[in-house]
Amino acid sequence: MTNPAPALLRPDGSNLRVLVVDDEQMLTDLLSMALRMEGWDVKTAGSGFEALQTAREFAPDAMVLDIMMPDLDGMAVLQRLRQSGDDVPVLFLTAKDAVTDRVAGLTAGGDDYVTKPFSLEEVVARLRGLMRRAGTAHAAGAEPILRVADLSLNEDSHEVERAGTEIELTATEFELLRYLMRNQRRVVSKAQILDRVWNYDFGGRSSVVELYISYLRKKIDAGHEPLIHTVRGVGYMIKAPQ
């Protein structure tokens, strides 16, 4: 059964607003779909100048902003927003992965940074964290903690614990565990995992899933009753011991 994170709302109870800016139409469509599934109001822009105009009209609570754009890049868009007094939380989206690019984006006033390729769930989780930290949103229900037996995962703080002991996971291991826990007692195939955990056009082999499942098992199940199970010929499932 899927264990969804609680809905986030504006303090007045209305839906959060997110502006997605990228010159790649397919990417903005996919992100918009994922964010609307969270119950958020979404608008898109395909260029830097369009982003500035839409931001003025839409007044978003958060922005997903691609750095590399043909007319006005993301850095320049953010600079103009900040100069105008707009402190909207910004999640940078870029194909660049150098440390200097990350530092430049955050120094310019960005709040977080996701490197392509990414999973849609990672972008949603980062936005949830941004808006919580900014005080923009509150949860409509309980805290965003997923639990399976004595294993817990906090979607906002990215903290994972089993039997009270903190477990350090890489970003990919965390996304894989979150996907399994959101679908606890449901078998998910390698193809589903590749699509949801890695990125929307990942062309890799299913062996990478097997590799990361083995990493997770060493960190999650070592010394404990196993939670992660292989369903031969079908996929993987996480469930509490009987």
The string of DSSP codes covering 170-216 is -HHHHHHHHHHHHTTTS-B-HHHHIIIII-TT----THHHHHHHHHH
Percentage of the chain surpassing pLDDT 90?
A: 38
The C-alpha atoms of residue 96 and residue 138 are separated, in whole angstroms, by 32
Nearest alpha-carbon partner for 238 in 167, 144, 162, 170: 162
Q: Between residues 8 and 133, which one has the greater pLDDT? A: 8
Task: For residue range 122-142, list pLDDT tens digits in order.
Answer: 888 888 877 776 666 655 554
pLDDT of residue 142: 47
Task: For residue range 59-111, list pLDDT tens digits in order.
Answer: 999 999 988 888 898 889 998 998 888 888 888 887 755 555 555 555 555 67
